[in-house]
């Protein structure tokens, strides 16, 4: 069956080949790129490849170039105000509270697979499905009548962690054509059809092209404070808690120690960075909130799963138990290092994403 498919095109090789494969299969393909950069909001210097920053102009140009080469229509949808409200304000609020947010996950849920599609409809763009170049697999369980999100065949590129907040309604209309491919296959195909420029283009490494998150905060909001240990002893000064993350060792400007000290906690109320030995980074339990379930409608009893507490962290065996008030308790078989409030924890059963939530308490 041939469908009208809208493809989110970022100007990179993965989304470009996504559009190519769908058109080759006979579908009516239209490309769309969201514009989220507000050049008047902050003055930053681009130091790396990212989603938010002045490099957006080139990405949009590259997406248009790719669409022309493939032979599909291309549109740009402006979402800078929506992105500021849904992603940047969330990002600042979490950091100000001493947490470590993951804006890419919120962007996927609310912007890329949400408001972008709403605005495309409003602009008169017709489509049956929305496809992206994410490395993940969508499936459907006939028994439970639920859409499933599974890991990509290329586990090194798997992006299911970033997509765990998608709803059943969103998954119903989403396609992930690259889920069964290896990244090397996509690069090889791009070279064969004359798109080597896209293969050579650096991939986005972060959501932000700059190197100082302070640019997102009003002047005077980020304040210096003390670096202390659990006993309250002052070891030094920090230039704002937003510049520190749990598990950080470098950049503390503390020398002459018998053993290395790490950031073990951020206290927003006292504006303190708390440091301690490596053993203080280990924890066997956490509470997660703001949950989203995919493979199941809800968690009504304890369940054995594997969990990732951040993208590049190895999956760990644990038991998850409903706690009421929209929370779950997570108990790991083995202590985990550097669990960070604000980050996402994603639960897996084999290759299937059960669901996940935001880490709240450790």
How far is Cα of residue 254 from the mean position of the Cα atoms in its chain?
A: 32
Containing 42, the helix (H) or strand (E) segment is none
Domain match, 270 and 286 both: no
Answer yes or no: is pLDDT of 28 > 80.
yes
Would you state the structure tokens that stand for residue 49, as one six-digit string?
Answer: 């490849």
Looking at 276, 296, 313, which one is the last position of a domain? 276
Burial (CB count <10 Å: 0-12, 13-18, 19+), residue 64 = middle
Question: Do 190 and 267 sit in the same domain of this protein?
Answer: no
What is the helix (H) or strand (E) element at residue 330, kind and residue range? strand 327-337
Look at residues 153, 136, 145, 154 and name the one whose alpha carbon lies nearest to residue 172: 145
Residue 158 lies in a domain: no
- Within a domain: 166: no
Query: What is the distance between the alpha carbons of residues 279 and 215, in angstroms, rounded to a whole number?
Result: 34
Looking up residue 40, the CATH number of its domain turns out to be: 3.40.50.620
Distance (Å, whole) CA 37 – CA 56: 7
- CATH, residue 236: 2.30.30.280
User: For residues 228 and 324, what is the distance between their CA atoms, to the nearest angstrom?
Assistant: 34
Nearest to 289 by CA among 336, 323, 332: 323
For residue 149, pLDDT over 80 is answered with: yes
Greatest extent of the chain over all pairs of C-alpha atoms, in Å:
69
Residues 195, 121 share a domain: yes
Kindly give the residue spans of alpha helices, DSSP state H, lying in the chain.
13-24, 56-70, 80-83, 89-96, 103-106, 116-122, 168-172, 183-192, 196-200
Burial of 10 from C-beta contacts in 10 A (0-12 / 13-18 / 19+):
buried
Question: Model-level pTM?
Answer: 0.94
Residue 68 maps to a domain: yes
Exposed e or buried b for every residue in 36-52, given b needs 16+ CB within 10 A? bbeeeebebeeeebbbb
Cross-strand bridge partners of residue 136: 151
Q: What's the pLDDT score for residue 38?
A: 87
- Residue 58 shares a structural domain with residue 107: yes
User: Do 197 and 305 lie in a common domain?
Assistant: no
Region 152-165: what's the mean pLDDT?
97
**Structural domain includes residue 162:** no
Looking at residues 296-319, what average pLDDT do you find?
96
Same domain as 245, residue 181: no
Is residue 18 in some structural domain?
A: yes
For 258, the token pair is: 């018998």
* Residue 304 and residue 185 in one domain: no
Q: Is residue 140 part of a domain?
A: no
Strands, E assignment, 160-213: 174-175, 206-208
In the numeric block, which tokens belong to residue 317? 């065996």
Beta strand 174-175 with 225-229 is: unpaired
Domain boundary pick from 276, 293, 312: 276
User: Do 74 and 202 belong to one domain?
Assistant: yes
Q: Could you tell me if 270 and 304 lie in one domain?
A: no
Given a cut of 70, is residue 115 above it in pLDDT? yes
pLDDT over threshold 70, residue 73: yes
Structural domain contains residue 216: no
Residues 228 and 309 both lie in one domain: no
**CATH classification of the domain holding 336:** 2.40.30.10
- Confirm if 171 and 141 have CB atoms less than 8 A apart: no
- Given 261, 276, 291, the domain boundary residue is 276
Helices (H) and strands (E) in the chain, counts: 9, 19
Range of the domain at 30: 4-133+177-208
Residues 91, 19 share a domain:
yes
Q: How many domains does the structure of the chain reveal?
A: 3
Do the domain assignments include residue 100? Answer: yes
Confidence of residue 238 (pLDDT cuts 50, 70, 90): very high
Average per-residue pLDDT for the chain? 94
Co-location of 54 and 122 in the same domain: yes
pLDDT tier for residue 23 given thresholds of 50, 70 and 90? very high
């Amino acid at each position: 069956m041939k469908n009208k498919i809208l493809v989110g095109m970022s100007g990179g090789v993965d989304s470009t080949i996504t559009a190519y494969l769908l058109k080759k299969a006979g579908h009516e393909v239209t490309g769309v790129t969201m514009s989220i950069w507000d050049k008047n909001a902050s003055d930053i210097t681009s130091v790396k490849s990212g989603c938010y920053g002045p490099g957006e102009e080139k990405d949009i140009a590259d997406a248009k170039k790719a669409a022309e080469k493939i032979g599909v229509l291309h549109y740009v949808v402006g979402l800078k105000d929506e992105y500021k409200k849904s992603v940047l304000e969330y990002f600042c609020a979490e950091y100000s509270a001493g947490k470590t947010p993951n804006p890419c996950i919120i962007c996927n849920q609310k912007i890329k697979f949400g408001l972008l599609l709403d605005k495309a409809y409003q602009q008169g763009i017709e489509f049956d499905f929305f496809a992206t170049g994410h490395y993940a697999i969508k499936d459907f369980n006939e028994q439970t009548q639920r859409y499933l999100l599974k890991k990509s065949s290329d586990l090194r590129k798997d992006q299911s962690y970033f997509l765990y907040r998608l709803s059943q309604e969103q998954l119903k209309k989403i396609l992930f054509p690259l889920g069964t491919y290896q990244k090397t296959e996509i690069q090889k195909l791009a070279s064969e059809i004359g798109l080597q420029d896209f293969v050579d283009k650096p991939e986005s490494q972060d959501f932000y092209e700059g190197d100082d998150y302070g640019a997102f905060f009003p002047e005077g909001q980020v304040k210096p404070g003390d670096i202390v240990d659990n006993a309250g002893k002052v070891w030094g000064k920090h230039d704002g808690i937003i510049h520190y993350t749990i598990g950080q060792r470098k950049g503390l400007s503390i020398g002459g120690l018998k053993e290395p000290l790490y950031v073990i906690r951020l206290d927003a109320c006292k504006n303190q960075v708390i440091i301690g030995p490596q053993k203080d980074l280990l924890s066997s339990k956490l509470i997660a909130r703001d949950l989203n379930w995919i493979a199941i409608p809800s968690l009504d009893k304890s369940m054995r799963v594997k969990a990732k507490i951040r993208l590049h962290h190895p999956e760990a065996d644990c038991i998850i138990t409903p706690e009421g008030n929209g929370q779950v308790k997570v108990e790991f078989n083995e202590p985990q290092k550097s669990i960070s409030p604000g980050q996402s924890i994603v639960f897996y059963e084999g290759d299937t994403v059960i669901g996940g939530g935001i880490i709240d308490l450790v």
